[in-house]
Chains A and B, each alone.
Chain A
Amino acid sequence: GESVGLHLPTLSVQEGDNSIINCAYSNSASDYFIWYKQESGKGPQFIIDIRSNMDKRQGQRVTVLLNKTVKHLSLQIAATQPGDSAVYFCAEINTGTASKLTFGTGTRLQVTL
């Protein structure tokens, strides 16, 4: 079936460095993607989204890149801080079929001091 997955289950980054979290998606018909952050013991929080007609979108300290050719999504966090430690996962949807969001399994980001 269609699925959303991640390359790395755990990413360790030093405070102040940039983080890059990757996501591969298999449904070529997906045209809208969301990155969520989930801190320990909490529910997922929206970070940033991107539509398939865009290659890049920037937020505050975060950038999402979309490569439709290889069906790859990445989340870049600039100047990673201890508060960025969390599980990050992507979600996809084919808006044309009014389907539901499909979520990836997540990557744990550990920020070391």
Chain B
Amino acid sequence: NAGVTQTPKFQVLKTGQSMTLQCAQDMNHNSMYWYRQDPGMGLRLIYYSASEGTTDKGEVPNGYNVSRLNKREFSLRLESAAPSQTSVYFCASSPTSGGPPYEQYFGPGTRLTVT
């Protein structure tokens, strides 16, 4: 099992450009999450999908959109990138949302720089 995979690993965008970060999991998990990680700050939840067909806003959703394409895949889209979105983005999955087990499994991350 590959676990949680993310593409791309690195990306540089110019302000105003758009892009989609891809995430896939092969653990048959119901729930998937997108976080951003900034220096000196903990992981902050952008959006999550408790189950296929549902998505909900997290702590910092502004400037992002998500799509739960199917049970395996959960993408994050930046429609018009801003320098404030420079960060490392992590996708995670868990068997369920709001119920045990609560452990989340993380992908390797995408390092995004917006100039």
| A-to-B contact residues, CB < 8 Å | 4, 32, 34, 41-46, 49, 89, 93, 95, 98-106
Find residues 35-55 in chain B having any chain A CB closer than 8 Å to their own CB.
40-45, 48
A49-B100 Cα distance, complex, nearest whole Å = 12
| B-to-A contact residues, CB < 8 Å | 4, 33, 40-45, 48, 58, 90, 92, 97-100, 102-109
CB-CB under 8 A from A49, the residues of chain B are: 102-103
A95 near B100 with CB under 8 A, answer: yes
A95-B102 Cα distance, complex, nearest whole Å = 9
A104 near B103 with CB under 8 A, answer: no
Q: In the complex, which of the residues A4, A41, A43, A104 contacts B4, with contact meaning CB atoms closer than 8 Å? A: A43
B102 near A93 with CB under 8 A, answer: yes
Main secondary structure of the interface of B (DSSP, over half): loop
A99-B59 Cα distance, complex, nearest whole Å = 12
A45-B104 Cα distance, complex, nearest whole Å = 9
The smallest beta-carbon distance between A48 and chain B, in angstroms, is 10
Interface centre among B48, B99, B104 (most CB of A within 10 A): B104
CB-CB under 8 A from B92, the residues of chain A are: 43
A46-B102 Cα distance, complex, nearest whole Å = 11
A106-B92 Cα distance, complex, nearest whole Å = 18
A44 near B45 with CB under 8 A, answer: no
The smallest beta-carbon distance between A5 and chain B, in angstroms, is 9
Q: In the complex, which of the residues B42, B45, B97, B98 contacts A104, with contact meaning CB atoms closer than 8 Å? A: B42
